[in-house]
Amino acid sequence: MESGGIGVRTVRDPVLAMYRWEVAVSAEPAKNLPLLTGQIINNISVALEYVAFQIYLIAGGEPDGPQAAKVAFPIVNTESPWDSVVKKKVPGVWPEAADRLKAAQPFSQEGMAANALRTLRGLGGTDKHRNLVLCAAVALSANVIGPAGGVGCQIRLARADGDISKGPVVPIKPGTVVEVACAFAQPSPAPDHDAVLLWASGVDFKLPPPPTVEYTFRANNGSEVDLPGLRGLIEHVLVIVDSFTDLSGPG
């Protein structure tokens, strides 16, 4: 990101004892990153759909038959509706195939793996992958050294509208500047949460090191993935696809 025209800069407020960290777009990256990510998401989703369709064909389904358009790789969060969903999504499914599909479900997984297919469904369903946007978020850390002399310090992290767990959107257009965090000196005790000292007060507030900014890609339904998470999704789907390589047919 940093070498592709998108970087983080530190801005010292000229009046307030405050530093701001901003993601700035100086040039449009050579590749459309949200679109490229969306294409990857779509491709790994298609790999699962291929598995489901092959099961349908092996079970005797017609490629152009009346049920062909309904075939889809089932993704179910809880076990209770599983039997009815798998029969609806994969007509003709037989017990062994159903068991392997079940083993791939979120309710059959543990830890981070349980969220993989949920995330993939959120990012790759319908045309959501065409609407991915770049977002940036700063994790709260202790990399700011507070002002000297018993003065207080506040750190604020920018968050998406309506969801404090996510960072703000960064439109990929040259000239875009999005604040992701700030740190400012306060009188101690502070008269209110937003009180800020002036540089003119003589406060000794050194330039903090820049924070670590994590970039993610978010769909229009709020589903989100970062680059390590994208690699994890690819690896997760590869494991699922490989689990069907030795599947025997019905009967």
Sequential DSSP letters for 95-148: HHHHHHHHHTSGGG--TTHHHHHHHHHHHHSTTGGGG-EEEEEE---S-PPPPS
In a domain, 248, yes or no: no
27 lies in the same domain as 39: no
So what's the pLDDT on residue 142?
Answer: 46
> Alpha-carbon distance 148 to 195, whole Å?
17
pLDDT tens-digit map of 92-108: 999 999 999 999 999 99
The encoded tokens of residue 66 equal 């009346």
Lowest mean pLDDT among 47-51, 197-201, 225-229: 225-229
pLDDT of 169-190, one tens digit each? 999 899 999 999 999 999 888 8
CA distances from 8 to 137, 213, 228 (A): 11, 8, 20
Res 206: pLDDT:
87
What's the domain range around 168? 2-31+132-221
Are 115 and 170 in the same domain?
no
- Asked if 123 and 41 sit in the same domain, the reply is yes
- Structural domain includes residue 188: yes
Place of tokens 């946007």: 133
Out of 4-18, 120-134, 170-184, pick the least confident.
120-134
Q: Looking at the domain assignment, is residue 14 inside a domain?
A: yes
Is the predicted pLDDT of residue 127 greater than 60, yes or no?
Answer: no
| 90/71 Cα distance (integer angstroms) | 5
Token look-up 């609806």 returns 88
DSSP 4: G
Residue 8 lies in a domain: yes
59/70 same-domain check = yes
For the entire predicted model, the pTM comes to 0.81
Q: For the chain, give the mean pLDDT.
A: 89
**Which two tokens mark 211?**
């924070």
pLDDT band for 126, please (50, 70, 90 cuts).
very low
Do both 17 and 99 map to the same domain?
Answer: no
User: Could you report the per-residue pLDDT of 43-72, keeping only the tens digit for each?
Assistant: 999 999 999 999 999 999 999 999 999 999
Residue 125 confidence (pLDDT): 57
* Residue 27 shares a structural domain with residue 43: no
DSSP-assigned beta bridge partners for residue 182: 20, 156
One domain, residues 55 and 6: no
Query: Reading across the β-sheet that carries 177-186, which strands appear in turn?
Result: 6-12, 18-25, 177-186, 152-157
Q: Are 197 and 185 in contact (CB under 8 A)?
A: yes
